Amino acid sequence: MNLKTEIINYLSGESVKTFDEIAFMIYEVQSEENPHYRSFLEVLGQDKLSPSSIEDIPLLPISAFKHHKIKTGSWDAQSVFLSSGTSHMDRSRHYVGDLNFYKHHTLHTFKGFYKNALNKILSLLPSYIENGDSSLVHMVDNMMDYYNDKEKAHFLYDFEALKSTLDDQETNGHSTVLIGVTFALLDFAKEFKSLDSNLTIIFTGGMKNRGIELSYEEVFDTLKKSFPNSTIDSEFGMTEMFSQSYCQNSKDGFYTPASSLYIQPKELNDPLTTAKIGKTGQLGFIDLANYQTCSFVLTDDLCIKKNDGRFKVLGRMAQSDIRGCNMLYQI
């Protein structure tokens, strides 16, 4: 049985293998067939070692996605996802070897969190759509194909049209999800208020280029004030991560990761050591869905993790700390 089939069977609940067993299967392949990950392991002197626990698997600094084609094996990319930013910035690139797998996986994850019947998906993702090649836009497009019968419902800055569509959905008693980048949703909330009880708002991303960064709680409270009868949720994902996490109708900001995703905070002064539960650490992850690229990644974010596996993102690391981590692997 090939690796892709093992992962699909695990995600569908049809595999006898555990997450750890599949993670080790991926590690065995990527440590040999991913040249940049193999080089990273060689720098650490761990290329000949066999980790005894998934906690011991070294995590590749996320900046590698900005400077290299991170691929395991030889294959032609069907798509390339780019991180948010402008054309003048270095943007991370995540090469996609199997776009159908990505579409199936993200939709399967979403349906696992949102089991109730939905009638329509709307989006307010201006910066992501304008920048192009966003994994988030690909994901939402796929949701719209499924829930909207292939009708795209992206709104950029036309808040009047969005409000009109929401009113129509409410009048018809339809259950609607509005997924949007945080700053755009807050702008929309300033102009309009709603009593829509059939609306679920999912905010994602930050306040880029706004000169202000609000806490999760502040965003939640602001949206709840404008949409008091709506459910306020949040999605956490990134270009370098093919799996998503969701926080549903909770002000605490702790996300539940997809079954394919294991969050692994690392000690701030030692990225090879896992931080204790409840202690702030550098957000690392193991993503089974990244089996064709690199499943073992150390981000530049801070987080805290609970015993139940949920985690909260606390912001970005200081640049000096990030540089220190990347010294492990000169890229």
Q: Is residue 99 part of a domain?
A: yes
Q: Are residues 251 and 104 both part of a single domain?
A: yes
pLDDT score recorded for residue 86: 57
pLDDT score recorded for residue 116: 84
Q: Are residues 37 and 167 both part of a single domain?
A: no
* CB atoms closer than 10 angstroms to residue 14: 8
Q: Which helix (H) or strand (E) holds 185?
A: helix 182-191
Q: Are residues 236 and 264 both part of a single domain?
A: no
pLDDT score recorded for residue 326: 47
Extended beta strands in the chain, E state: 60-61, 79-82, 93-96, 120-124, 154-155, 176-181, 199-204, 231-238, 241-248, 256-257, 261-263, 266-267, 270-274, 281-287, 296-305, 311-316
**Coil, strand, or helix at residue 35?**
helix
Q: Are residues 244 and 107 both part of a single domain?
A: yes
pLDDT means over runs of 10, the chain (331 residues): 91 93 97 97 86 96 96 97 76 96 97 90 93 93 92 91 91 92 93 81 77 85 93 97 97 98 97 96 98 98 97 84 46 44
Q: Is residue 8 part of a domain?
A: no
Structural domain range at position 301: 26-68+260-331
Q: Is residue 16 part of a domain?
A: no
Q: Are residues 54 and 111 both part of a single domain?
A: no
CA torsion sign, 112 to 116 to 122 to 124?
negative
Convert the pLDDT of each residue in 32-78 to its tens digit: 999 999 999 999 998 777 899 999 999 999 999 999 999 999 999 99
Q: Are residues 95 and 171 both part of a single domain?
A: yes
Q: Phi, psi (5° rounding) for residue 290?
A: -85, 25
Q: Is residue 1 part of a domain?
A: no
Q: Is residue 236 part of a domain?
A: yes
Residues with Cβ within 8 Å of 185's Cβ and at least 6 positions away in sequence, in order, are: 124, 178, 201, 203, 223
pLDDT score recorded for residue 22: 97
Q: Is residue 170 part of a domain?
A: yes
Q: Are residues 163 and 206 both part of a single domain?
A: yes
- CA pair distance 59, 243, nearest whole angstrom: 17
pLDDT score recorded for residue 319: 66
How far apart, in Å, do the first and last CA atoms of the chain sit? Answer: 35
- CA pair distance 282, 323, nearest whole angstrom: 13
- CA pair distance 326, 294, nearest whole angstrom: 16
- Total count of domains within the chain: 2
Provide the CATH number for the domain around residue 164.
3.40.50.12780
Q: Are residues 179 and 241 both part of a single domain?
A: yes
Instruction: Determine contact, residues 23/10, Cβ cutoff 8 Å.
Output: no
Q: Is residue 6 part of a domain?
A: no
Q: Are residues 39 and 139 both part of a single domain?
A: no
pLDDT score recorded for residue 287: 99
Last residue within a domain, chosen from 225, 240, 258: 258
Type of residue at 210: R
Q: Are residues 204 and 280 both part of a single domain?
A: no
Q: Give which of 238, 223, 144 is closest to 183, Cα–Cα.
A: 223
pLDDT score recorded for residue 325: 45
Instruction: Determine contact, residues 194/185, Cβ cutoff 8 Å.
Output: no
Q: Is residue 74 part of a domain?
A: no
